[in-house]
Amino acid sequence: MDEGSLVISSIGMAISILYSIYHLFISKKTLELEQEIDEKMKARPVANVIRYLIFLAVNSFLANMFFDVGWLLWISFCSAVALWILLVEHQFNLSYLISIILILLIFLGAGVPTHQKSFINHISDHSEYKCLRIECVKVAEIVVEDKVKTEVKIYSIQDFSFDWYLLFARGELILKDEDGNVKEFSGINIGGLWLLDK
């Protein structure tokens, strides 16, 4: 993330936190909501828990969007599930099933990366290939005469594609070395998890 987008993301996150602090802790509407929940549930601590769960769910979700930190999405998801358990009447019917599906689809879609660098970064992090802008380097250990040596091969990027489809993404990378050997990577991302084809 470059410096300009980091500043913009930080400003967006600060506005989000201030806005949610105002609406959840200062606004009169929140006090009325708290009184209503307080009367219905006869338990003020539960109303406070609900308020903090809303704060965590919204701001963790937005922080994941602004800063692309995947584990924040799990905090948001767990907070949303806890809110759903506390606030929804649990009678198994069509609307209950639809709400479960909607929650899952929202979080699965939010976890899918929208930027093409995600696929190349995954390959660099989880294989022996380290990719830069126009080429990749394969670093391997080989044994020659009972000595361990490092072998480095340079691969040029022949083709690269990344497609984002709201609920999943697909990536493909084709590499070629100086001898003409071709290495292909292809994978699909579901909910932020890259599954590479073997």
The secondary structure of residue 166, as a DSSP letter, is S
**Phi–psi pair at 170, nearest 5 degrees:** -125, 145
Whole-number pLDDT of residue 134 = 85
CA distance 184 to 174: 5
Can you tell me which residue has the tokens 């948001």? Answer: 76
Q: What is the pTM of this model?
A: 0.64
Question: Which residues lie closer than 8 Å to 172 by C-beta, 6 or more apart?
Answer: 159, 160, 161, 162, 184, 185, 186, 187
Whole-number pLDDT of residue 130 = 92
pLDDT digits (tens, 9 = 90+) for 19-64: 988 887 788 787 777 777 767 666 557 778 889 999 999 999 999 8
Whole-number pLDDT of residue 42 = 63
Whole-number pLDDT of residue 198 = 59
Which residue stretches of the chain have pLDDT < 50? Answer: none
Whole-number pLDDT of residue 44 = 57
DSSP 101-131: HHHHHHHHHHHS--STHHHHHHHHHHSSEEE
Whole-number pLDDT of residue 172 = 95
Whole-number pLDDT of residue 89 = 76
Strand partners of residue 143 = 148
Whole-number pLDDT of residue 123 = 92
